[in-house]
Structure 1
Amino acid sequence: MNMPASPVQDGDPVYLDHNATTPVDPRVVKAMLPFLTSGFGNPSSEHAYATGPRAALARARRQVAALVGADAEEIVFTGSGSEANNLALRGAVLAAGDRRRRVITQVTEHPAVLETCRALHRLHGAEVTYLPVDERGLVDPADLVEALDDRTAVVSVMAANNETGTLQPVADLARLAHDHGALFHCDAAQAAGKVPVDARALGADLLTLVGHKMYAPKGVAALLVRTGVRLEPLVYGGGQERGLRAGTESVALAVALGTAAALAAEELADGGARQVGELRDRLHRRLAQEFPGRVHLNGCDRRRLPNTLNISIDGTTGHGLLAAAPALAASTGSACHSGATTPSPVLSAMGLDDTRALAAVRLSLGRWTTPADVDRAAGALIDAVHALAPAGADGHGAGHGPGRASGHEVGHGAGYWSATL
């Protein structure tokens, strides 16, 4: 794969916050620029100025569909992942009528799902069930079996958690939902482009993917709506996007998302996920060896995104650690909770105590992360830990021997590969 230069400049902090947002790939910028200048026509018009934009919009739809195993006509462009999730859940519940007014989701979903569920309860009287997760962040399919009934309109479970990277057993959960006649929605914002996502194999009737999580600009996303699925529109108007999302399409942003999807598919085929997984584990090993017994992995050791490392280091807090490591740009949890002083709701739902949850940092690697970046990030974190918790200060003297993290063997770079969503 012919990789352009990294958008991050030499001397800038190491960027390990790709789960929050990704840099825009220069190839994506190049593809979208013509539709900000000469290709300005409305794709719904009938004259010559519409021909290029209409063809570009159709091509982008095919590219997005190809990434997730869908047909082009099943892709609905939206302005954000939050909008796509709202369209999926609100659309499914309102289209189902009074007979099916129940939604099932799980406690570590993104707020775009959780808040939509709360609004459906408050505004439309929908009954919402929130499934628990275990200490790895996984939903037990048996809990879904117990919750399902013939009043269920839609089940919504994310493909991958944005904080821990845990991959849910989506195919198993979708099959159970279909057994009760319910639709299945999957927020794949974090998974699409990082691991193979095939909506048909997963059984997803509705699937969300987001541009700025896969090297496209902010402001564009898509909802896969399987042929035959009925949704109440979120935006009413001129009938664009199969009548589900009115408003003249942003051709430039759709092209950006389509190009990003095509590049992601090419990178997956070239083994990019495996390579980033190896770098993630290099970082984990370095920290675990420096602080044996003090580094705890949060989430699932194998069923997780290859780019995501969520750890807690004894004797620190996440905010304090990152403040003491200005050479590193990372997160203490999801971007939606950055700056909060309360424990991450995701980690608390997994049963972590407040001390460990408040110590968590999320290190998420990306397309341009190099071994040198990983080593520089590890060095910054090691220096910060020593500054915050000198050897012996908390009863956990730092050392240099081989280490493990919270009982999990370090070094499963591609361990997720044997797992299925």
Structure 2
Amino acid sequence: MPAVKRSPRLGEETDGAATAPTEPASSTSGPKDAAKPDADEGRSGDDTSSTRSTPPRSSARFQDPHNAPSKASGFGAGLLGGLIAAALGLGAGWLWLDRSSRADDFDTRLGSLEREVAPLADGLDGLRGETEAGLSALDARLGSTETGLADMAGRIDALDARLVDAENSAGPEGTLAREAVARWQAEVDALRADLETQAQEIAGMAEQAAQEVSAAERTAEQIEAEAAAVAARARARATLAEIEAALETGEPYAALLEELQATSPAGIPDPLVAPAAEGVASRAELIESFPEPARLALATARREGLSGEEGGRVAGFFRDTLQLRSTAPGDGATTDAVLSRAEAALRDGRLTEALAEIEALPEPVREPLADWLVPARTRAEALAAADTLSQSLTEN
């Protein structure tokens, strides 16, 4: 990744080789500012010193110590330190607000997942209650049938005893015994037929009960499996949200990736796996490191006559000498306009659009941006992979 250099100015930038300001530009012009040459004067969309309160590093880095003011004061140093402290405070506040916003979003998504899982748990409890109630009713019916069978068996035993008594009290020719046996035999046959009918009913009820229990078990298993899948997706989505936060800050997320691989029902895209150990370049880092390669790319375009600007090589030479570059987004197909739109998209978080703008430049012009493009593409691919995986976990 290119060395990180911040370029907070919003108009035309000038290289330190052309101008070497010795005091930070401020929003209020003073006598010293009026005495300095301004390479940006008279150009629309160029950098202006009144838009920022801190000087570009590129200018301060090449300052000539012999041209420094002879009367440096402690007040000027204190003012510069105060401005730097204020900038750091604003940056810290921005980070705190950004993290607070991500935390609120994470809590909202987690609450949504809990609401998805709750109905499944309630349905499983209800099914278990219905199954237990059905089994209790079936036990009652079986108990009643068994009682009826026991009563019928008692009646058969009584008939058998009566038959024995009849045989013992029969006359010499056995007439009474035959008549009694015939009558009682009919009763015994009727009782046996009734017993067989009830036995068949009991067998049918038992088979139906077994089928109902089996169906209830299958339904319970299905609900449990679905609940487990929803819980796994919920854990995967929560872990993915933490990974997305790490992508935003540029922190490594190897441990989170292992957890995601263990819980996600969907495969993890390779662009999200590859940079896990070291993390990706953060948006702030890409913004900070963009101006320097952009100036080199614009200088190359002007030197090679590929900038698309009017005036040809001569005008391009003077622009290159003054290192003028637009940072406010402009229209047109000139290299300066393309780079200005790319930087604006980058600052707005539209990294894919920024890369598309740069890809439209000629190959010789893109060459100075090669080292910057590598981490930028890695970040863009990782973000796209995380978004695709998030949609998959939500739909399934």
If the TM-score is normalised by the length of the shorter chain, which range does it land in? Answer: under 0.3
Higher Cα Rg: structure 1 or 2? 2
Q: Which has the higher helix share?
A: 2
Q: Which has the higher strand share?
A: 1
